[in-house]
Amino acid sequence: MAKIFKFEDLTDVDLVIDAIYEGGLFGNAGDDPITKLMNCGNQGGFRYKGSYESPAFCVLYSEMASTEWPDEIDFQKGLFTYFGDNKKAGHELHDTSKKGNQILKITYELLHENQRNKICPFFIFTKASETGRSVVFRGIAVPGASNLNRSEDLIAIWKKAEDRFLNYKAIFTILDIQTIPRLWIKDLIAGIRDSKKEPEIFSKWKKGGAYRPLIAEAATLLKSKDQQLPKNKFEEVVIKRIIRFFKDEHPDKEYAFEKCAVEIAKMLQGIVTCDRTRPWKDGGRDATGIFRIGTTQSYTDVEFALEAKCKEIDIGSTVKETSRLIARIKHRQFGIFVTTSYLADQAYKEILEDGHPILILTSTDIAEIVIKKLDLSQDKNQESLVLLNNWLLQL
């Protein structure tokens, strides 16, 4: 269970990985816990101390709910993907009120020039729940990653609203530091850059550029029911529309979702082929396919099997349903289990603890993949539902 810090105590507490820091209850901007924790601004995704050209530190905050700009934490690799603050047409890439994209530009220029000693620490916070102001501390991050070059860690990407415009996509590494001492934060607030309280891992990165990411242990990969279900109202609308289409409207209700699951699998990077098996003799698999590992010049192909379940969002898939797929995975194969609901605890634990090579795509994964691929937007809800419906009708 996550550690919880009360709002009234926030000026004196350490920062602990995945701990919850409660917001106030006064109903105004003063309820913001990040301001009280870090003595910085109370609004926006970028909140820094000092000048944006050379901040003492920078807080990156995300609600992790935007379908347009999907910030993401890869817990298995210790990477954080964060989008800049030029999120609407009408401004030049760096012309933003909070100077967030300026901070990114300067930071990654310093990184590429090997001037890491001039780069400030980045503190990552995400929203704790859909209600209230509470936040979760996700770690201290530095720009770039060990496997990325200078053309991959900060990318300017085009987006189209009424007009085309650019925004940044930045990759950070969350360092393997479990607790950030309050004394170091106080030194940073006071403008002390080379504090003796600075964590050793961060100091080593500044000196030698060694990335030591915070990587989730296998036990933490078990997702709860809530983590498998839609993260926001728009994802819920999308997944429920898919369920209703295949449960109530499609003439071939028994097997129709299998084709949808195949199309969703094809949206994943690395999938070369994915084809449905004959429904009356499928050998326990709804589809089979090829996943390609490597480059266009040098690669190996791995076979996989796919199982699809279209279920109501509150009815989980059980061991009985996952074991059907597990039993059919042969040597050097893996499986993909696609469900519009979630995996029950016992089924999920069996897959992880026994080391079965199964990729699990649940309700929230399906919604996220479809939203991204079809470029659906919560801001254009009706238009997006038309696009979704047209896609379903083509299956």
β-strand pairing of 4-5 with 135-143 = unpaired
Low-confidence residues in the chain, pLDDT < 50? 282-284
Residue with tokens 């997702």: 223
| CATH for the 220-394 domain, from 3.40.1350.10, 3.30.43.10, 3.40.50.970, 3.40.50.10320 | 3.40.1350.10
Q: Name the nearest CA neighbour of 20 among 36, 1, 4, 37.
A: 4
CATH 2.30.280.20 domain extents, the chain: 4-216
Q: What's the CA gap between 45 and 141, in Å, rounded?
A: 15
Residues 352-355: contacts with CB under 8 Å, at least 24 apart = 352/218, 352/219, 352/221, 352/222
Give me the pLDDT at residue 282, please: 45
Task: Pull the structure tokens for residue 327.
Answer: 């039993």
For the CA atoms of 91, 94, 96, 101, the dihedral, rounded to the nearest 10 degrees, stands at: 140
Give me the pLDDT at residue 163, please: 79
Q: Three-class SS string for the chain? A: CCCEECHHHHHHCCEECCCEECCCCCCCHHHCHHHHHHCCCCCCCEEEEEECCEEEEEEEEECCCCCCCCCEEECCCCEEEEECCCCCCCCCCCCCCCCHHHHHHHHHHHHHCCCHHHCCCEEEEEECCCCCCCEEEEEEEEECCCCCCCCCCEEEEEEECCCEEEEEEEEEEEECCCEECHHHHHHHHCCCCCCCCCCHHHHHHHHHCCCCECCCCHHHHCCCHHHHCCCCHHHHHHHHHHHHHHHHHCCCCCCHHHHHHHHHHHCCCCEEEEEECCCCCCCCCCEEEEEEEECCCCEEEEEEEEEEECCCCCCCECHHHHHHHHCCCCCCCEEEEEECCCECHHHHHHHHHCCCCEEEECHHHHHHHHHHHHCCCHHHHHHHHHHHHHHHHHC
Q: What's the CA gap between 338 and 229, in Å, rounded?
A: 13
pLDDT in tens, 207-248: 999 999 999 865 567 888 999 999 889 999 999 999 999 999
Using CB atoms within 10 Å of the CB of residue 5, give its burial: 0 to 12 exposed, 13 to 18 middle, 19+ buried. buried
375 Cβ contact list (under 8 Å, min separation 6): 387
Q: What's the CA gap between 104 and 85, in Å, rounded?
A: 10
Give me the pLDDT at residue 47, please: 96
Q: What's the CA gap between 373 and 127, in Å, rounded?
A: 25
CATH 3.40.1350.10 domain extents, the chain: 220-394
| CATH for the 4-216 domain, from 2.30.280.20, 3.20.20.220, 2.40.50.140, 3.30.470.10 | 2.30.280.20
Task: Pull the structure tokens for residue 18.
Answer: 């995945």
Q: What is the pTM of this model?
A: 0.71
Give me the pLDDT at residue 114, please: 96
CB 36 within 8 A of CB 11: yes
Give me the pLDDT at residue 129, please: 77
